[in-house]
A and B are shown apart, each in its own frame.
Chain A
Amino acid sequence: MAGNGIKSSRYEFDDTDRKILELLKANGRATNQKIARLLKISAATVSARIRQMEDAKAMKVVAATDFAAFGYNILIAIGVEVQGRPAEDVAKELARLPQILSINLVTGAKDIEILLAVQQFSELSDFLLNDIAAIKGVRSLSPAIAVDIVKFDFDIAPLS
């Protein structure tokens, strides 16, 4: 961080950026030439705008891969209760486990919400008896096993 405080020069989207973004949401691999043609601007402008938006971490074009591509057939949303330790410390340790895809510290009856992905149920014994057992402060786990994913939008995310 620079010494002049946290005055991060936040990138401001203009109309052209918004139009490019919309096209990229529909097809992240639309070529600069194609986008340029559709918006009646130059390909160089498209290229520069995409780079500016990505550099500012305002947006990112991704190759989003389905869980199943990695054989993750089982998804479990687990509510974690913490006891005798700051929940944030527990969450930081949980974050090191590769099977845990997302972690949120939350308000309410549970302290942490995690999304766990495994290839098969047999992996759960190692996860519970070794990985989780080694983390101090985990009082209980309340699972909800995914049986059908009705909706899963992923075009908004933290980018830092």
Chain B
Amino acid sequence: MSGSRYQLDAFDHQILEVLAGDARLSNRKIAQTLGVTEGTIRGRLKRLQEENYLRFTAITALSYLGNPLLVFIGVTAEQGRVKDVAQAIAEMAGIRSVIITLGRFNIHVVGMYGSLEEVLGVANNAILALPGVRHVETSISVKQLKYDSRLAKITRPFVPSDDDED
């Protein structure tokens, strides 16, 4: 979070709103909708992606992966080792998110697994065996009531593509 990071303006938000309806709408159509040139849209989308505010990706439905178990793992670790532990967990199978936190535990982990056997392998075995880990608290989602797939934390670098638009 550098202080000089680009801040979105009202026009950026208008573009995001149009894309929320259809992420694959061509630059030309977005430009027509908002009454600007195609180049303007291309430039804005490029900047939003370069600044890690925006990513275009395909989301696969959970139901098509056999409705895996969504598992929350709260990890308590020695403060001096939290970063290393978090990095190690991020590399493990099935791990979806790793967040270093201040509060009820040191690291908040979310994983997706096809069976309890796999949960055992990661939460009860692999994570607990990491140096510096003191305690692991696992809870399994029995029902998801709300989730917004359009809001995320962009942690991976942007890979530009030469011809993103028609």
Is A28 touching B24 in the complex (CB atoms < 8 A)?
yes
Interface size of B in residues (CB-CB distance below 8 Å) = 70
Sort chain A's interface into a size bin.
35 or more
Q: Whole-angstrom distance between the alpha carbons of A59 and B86 in the complex?
A: 30
Q: Which residue of A lies closest to B140 (CB)?
A: A107
CB distance from B127 to the nearest CB of A (A): 14
- Contact present for A155 and B141 (CB under 8 Å): no
Given that A64-B154, A151-B98 are contacting pairs, would A110 and B61 also be in contact in the complex, using a CB cutoff of 8 Å?
no
Q: Which of B47-94 contact A (CB under 8 A)?
A: 48, 52-65, 70, 72, 74, 83, 86-87, 90
Q: In the complex, what residue of chain A is closest to B15 when comparing beta carbons?
A: A63
- Closest residue of chain B to A104 (Cβ to Cβ) is B141
| B residues in contact with A159, CB < 8 Å | 59, 61-63, 149
Whether B140 pairs with A106 at a CB distance below 8 angstroms is yes
Give the residue of A11, A64, A106 whose beta carbon is less than 8 angstroms from that of B151. Answer: A64
The 8 Å CB contact of B149, one of A79, A148, A157, is A157
Residue of B26, B56, B139 touching A113 (CB-CB under 8 A): B139
Task: Give which listed residue, A58, A92, A153, contacts B64 with CB less than 8 A.
Answer: A58
CB-nearest residue of chain B to A24: B58
Instruction: Give the one of B62, B83, B90, B144 with max A CB within 10 A.
Output: B144
Say whether B142 contacts A144, CB under 8 Å: no
Contact with B along A114-151 (1 / 0, CB 8 A): 00010000000000000000000000001111111111
Task: Name 12 interchain pairs, CB-CB below 8 A, sorted by A.
Answer: A13-B64, A25-B58, A61-B23, A64-B152, A65-B53, A65-B152, A66-B154, A76-B103, A94-B145, A104-B143, A106-B140, A150-B99
